[in-house]
Amino acid sequence: MRHITLSQAVNEAIAEEMRRDLTTFLIGEDVAEAGTPFKVLAGLVEEFGPERVIDTPIAEPGFMGIAVGAALTGSRPIVDLMFGDFLYLIMDQLCNQAAKAYYMSGGKLNVPLVLRTNLGATRRSAAQHSQSLHALVAHIPGLKVAMPSSAYEAKGLMKTAIRDNNPVVILEDKLMYNDKAPVPEEEYLIPFGEAHVKRAGTDITLIATSSMVQVCEAAAETLAAEGISAEVIDPRTLVPLDEATLIESAKKTSRVIVVDEGHQSYGITGEIAGRINEKAFYHLDAPVLRMGAMDVPVPFSPALEDITVPTPEGVTENARKLMSGEMIHAA
Amino acid sequence: MADTKTNTEDFMRMYRQMVRIRVFEDNANQLYLSAKMPGLTHMYSGEEAVAVGICEALTDDDRITSTHRGHGHCVAKGADYKQMFCELLGKEEGYCRGKGGSMHIADQSHGNLGANAIVGGSMGIATGSALRAKLQGSDDVTVCFFGDGATAQGLLYEVMNMAALWQLPVIYACENNGYSEYTKTEEIAAGSITARAEAFGIEAFTVDGQDVLAVNDLSQKLVARARKGEGPFFVELMTYRYHGHHVGDINRDYYREKEEEAIWKEQRDPIVNFGKWLSEEGIASAEDLKAMEDEIRAEAKAAVDYALSAKYPDESEVDMHVFAPTDPATLRPGA
């Protein structure tokens, strides 16, 4: 099978869907000739023209609101938000308008819209261009949230997102744009709400999102050499969440670590750990561990930034402690 | 009154729609005062000529976005009393199955994309609806209603900039009722309101919002031009809010004098003045107009009685409509 980058995968998914459905269009800052700073959208304006690949002024709430209005009236916009950190700028349009329209109208108005943005630290971009804010949107009823962990997921989830009749936030890890993975030539879609068991195991479950899947796969490799069999599961979508697959794995292995790049407090790791505690409590041999990003603004200095996010070494060490029965308490 | 070439039917429909708004609000206010309505609401009384003058220039294919003070827009765009009162009371037969209430009534069958409880929250939506029209080659026009208070929101400037750059068929209708919630507009808006739009190269107009024919005349012209791709436009409509910011805002001497309210009600009322003009022109007698109002009041009473005894949504509806369904067949490869 051919290998393509995550960036190419996203580009292909959008191009295929824009060919398939003429009501789709791309809108955002520097999406046309520039193809975004990450060049993910390069070439699309040449194929679809400036009417469907629309460069906007630097006005995130404005173009987000415009996309909501277009979606409410029969278009299917794909909104490009250059950095996930800018979610704070568009919260009213996303959370008060897009997320609630279907419910508030009693099912009469819906908002088929994709908001594609990114997450991920360790790019030396400091506190306002490095955040992983998916927990903010996953908290809001009415928004679906997808987090691809490789080029394969990036393509399949994007295609599903564009065809979904609801607002979908899809967050790509900006450090993974050049990572290659096998991606079939033929068309495929990845359904929402279906977790993927990346690596089967029997001793401990590592539930990981986005780039943390790579981190956990590396940890699993090290653990395997030590005789510990780790299962790595990627939920792929946070909303809807495939709780059944996660619970089933927790019951099987009896030990779980949840790894995510969002801040640890009040985040995804706590949510998933809570569900496992509620539904697999009597099967557990150890407390479910959370590993998120540190609860600090992302620092600029590489010496500091690198210690704020979970690493393969950190996951490996925590897995060993869980396996040895060592009780772990938060500092 | 403006010199508008139109016919008797149009005049009578405009009068009827204004009375329908006033009567709706009188009933809504009574529901609140008699504690029969959950929550609270914002009265449109006094501003009827704005919604009616504009919406009478639109078709069902044209869209509007509305505000927290939205009953007038909703009625003017063609909504039905019964479904509106049911919505106000949180009943299953309401426009939104009781899930929206006064501040979120949407009636997409007449092109009303919904009231919005965030001041200025619908400016993007209206502009996006206009972008959709342009992209899809449709000639419908979208009117964005908002108040003078909403001109303080930054979103307006972001979307007017894009609407002007892209020549979108949207009309920004600023209902200047003199008050931004509990504060005089002059205390919250520096400079000129129309100049804000003109800065983007948008043609801006000021019109007497108590004169339904003047509003309608201007709206007809702007809607026709917007259909031809000459938009966007901005209109400031000078009007007045008879009630407080909301129905519970009763003691408002600290920000507005009773004498001022009396002048607007006694001298500038859009319904009374239009009624006088209709009589003077020999279009309808005072008796005809009274009979029309009586008929509308009877219809409203019946709708209120119906809504009061209508059933609430079943509890099973509480988690319905969080997500719209997506046909699984569309998610297959090759679909």
Residue B178, Ramachandran bin (φ over 0: left; ψ between -120 and 50: alpha; else beta)? left
Residue A125 reports pLDDT greater than 50: yes
A contact residues 72-91, partner B, Cβ 8 Å cutoff: 72-75, 77
**Interface contact B334, partner A, CB < 8 A:** yes
Residue B181, Ramachandran bin (φ over 0: left; ψ between -120 and 50: alpha; else beta)? left
Residues in chain A closer than 8 A to B154 (CB atoms): 61
A contact residues 25-54, partner B, Cβ 8 Å cutoff: 25, 51-52
Distance in angstroms (rounded) separating the CA atoms of residues A312 and A318: 10
Residue range A53-60: mean pLDDT, rounded: 98
> Which of A18, A72, A9 lies closest to A45, judged by CA?
A18
Determine, yes or no, domain membership for B32: yes
Distance in angstroms (rounded) separating the CA atoms of residues B1 and B208: 10
Residue range B83-107: mean pLDDT, rounded: 97
Smallest Cα distance from B251 to chain A, Å: 31
- The reported pLDDT for the residue numbered A327 is 61
Q: What is the pLDDT of residues A61-100, one digit of tens each?
A: 999 999 999 999 999 999 999 999 999 999 999 999 999 9
In this complex, the residue of B96, B154, B330 whose CB is nearest that of residue A108 is B96
Distance in angstroms (rounded) separating the CA atoms of residues B178 and B193: 12
Is A60 noted as a catalytic residue in this protein? yes
- The reported pLDDT for the residue numbered A331 is 38
pLDDT band at B228; cut points 50, 70, 90: very high
Question: A3-182: what CATH class?
Answer: alpha beta
- The reported pLDDT for the residue numbered B4 is 47
Domains of chain A, by residue range, sit at 3-182, 196-324
Residues in chain B closer than 8 A to A73 (CB atoms): 63, 113, 128-129, 132-133
Mean per-residue pLDDT of chain B: 96
Mutate which: B64, B123, B125, vs A, most A CBs within 10 A: B125
- Which of the following is catalytic: A12, A17, A29, A60? A60
Residue A115 reports pLDDT greater than 50: yes
Residues in chain B closer than 8 A to A24 (CB atoms): none
- The total number of structural domains in chain B stands at 1
Residue B5 reports pLDDT greater than 50: no
Determine, yes or no, domain membership for B4: no
Q: What is the ipTM of this complex?
A: 0.95
Determine, yes or no, domain membership for B27: yes
Distance in angstroms (rounded) separating the CA atoms of residues A124 and A299: 8
Distance in angstroms (rounded) separating the CA atoms of residues A122 and A130: 7
A3-182 and A196-324 agree in CATH topology: yes
Q: What is the pLDDT of residues B179-209, one digit of tens each?
A: 999 999 999 999 999 999 999 999 999 999 9
> In this structure, which amino acid lies at residue B316?
S
- Cβ contact A74–B132 (<8 Å): yes
Residue range A152-157: mean pLDDT, rounded: 98
- Cβ contact B108–A105 (<8 Å): yes
Smallest Cα distance from A310 to chain B, Å: 33
Tokens of A136: 């903010």
Chains A and B form CB pairs within 8 A to the count of 164
Residues in chain A closer than 8 A to B326 (CB atoms): 163-166
Distance in angstroms (rounded) separating the CA atoms of residues B247 and B40: 6
Long-range contact pairs involving B27-35 (C-beta distance under 8 Å, separation at least 24): B27/B85, B27/B300, B27/B301, B27/B304, B28/B71, B28/B85, B28/B88, B28/B102, B28/B247, B29/B243, B29/B247, B31/B85, B31/B88, B31/B89, B31/B304, B32/B247, B32/B248, B33/B247
CATH number for position B326: 3.40.50.970
In this complex, the residue of B98, B130, B158 whose CB is nearest that of residue A59 is B158
Smallest Cα distance from A90 to chain B, Å: 10
Residue B257 reports pLDDT greater than 60: yes
Determine, yes or no, domain membership for B7: no
**Interface contact B162, partner A, CB < 8 A:** yes
B183-184 vs B179-180, strand pairing mode: antiparallel
Smallest Cα distance from A5 to chain B, Å: 21
**Interface contact B320, partner A, CB < 8 A:** yes
**Interface contact B132, partner A, CB < 8 A:** yes
Query: Does A196-324 carry CATH code 3.40.50.920?
Result: yes
Residue range A103-112: mean pLDDT, rounded: 97
**Interface contact B118, partner A, CB < 8 A:** yes
Tell me what percent of the residues of chain B surpass a pLDDT of 90: 97
Residue A330 reports pLDDT greater than 50: no
Exposure class string for A168-205: b at 16+ Cβ within 10 A, else e? bbbbbbbbbbebbbebeeebebbebbebbebbebebbb
Residue range B252-256: mean pLDDT, rounded: 94
Q: What is the pLDDT of residues B13-47, one digit of tens each?
A: 999 999 999 999 999 999 999 999 999 899 999 99
In this complex, the residue of B126, B323, B333 whose CB is nearest that of residue A102 is B323
Q: What is the pLDDT of residues A266-312, one digit of tens each?
A: 999 999 999 999 999 999 999 999 999 999 999 999 999 999 999 99
Residue A22 reports pLDDT greater than 80: yes
> Which of B88, B106, B40 lies closest to B308, judged by CA?
B88
Secondary structure string (H, E, C) spanning B102-162: HHHCCEHHHCECCCCCCCCCCHHHHHHHHHHHHHCCCCCCEEEEEEHHHHHCHHHHHHHHH
Q: What is the pLDDT of residues A227-258, one digit of tens each?
A: 999 999 999 999 999 999 999 999 999 999 99
**Interface contact A185, partner B, CB < 8 A:** no
Mutate which: B321, B327, B330, B332, vs A, most A CBs within 10 A: B321
- Cβ contact B124–A163 (<8 Å): no
Are the beta carbons of B269 and B239 closer than 8 angstroms?
Answer: no
- Cβ contact A109–B113 (<8 Å): yes
Determine, yes or no, domain membership for B175: yes
B contact residues 75-114, partner A, Cβ 8 Å cutoff: 94-100, 104, 106, 108, 113-114
In this complex, the residue of A25, A57, A68 whose CB is nearest that of residue B125 is A68
- Cβ contact B322–A164 (<8 Å): no
Residues in chain A closer than 8 A to B123 (CB atoms): 65
Q: Of A293-297, B156-160, B250-254, give the lowest mean pLDDT range.
A: B250-254
Tokens of B213: 């024919």
- Cβ contact B165–A57 (<8 Å): yes
- The reported pLDDT for the residue numbered B7 is 84
- Cβ contact A165–B63 (<8 Å): no
Residue A45 reports pLDDT greater than 60: yes
> Which of B199, B201, B194 lies closest to B172, judged by CA?
B194
Residue range B131-141: mean pLDDT, rounded: 98
Smallest Cα distance from B170 to chain A, Å: 12
pTM of the predicted structure, to 2 decimals? 0.96
Smallest Cα distance from A59 to chain B, Å: 6
Residue range A157-171: mean pLDDT, rounded: 98
**Residue ranges making up the domain that contains B326:** 18-331
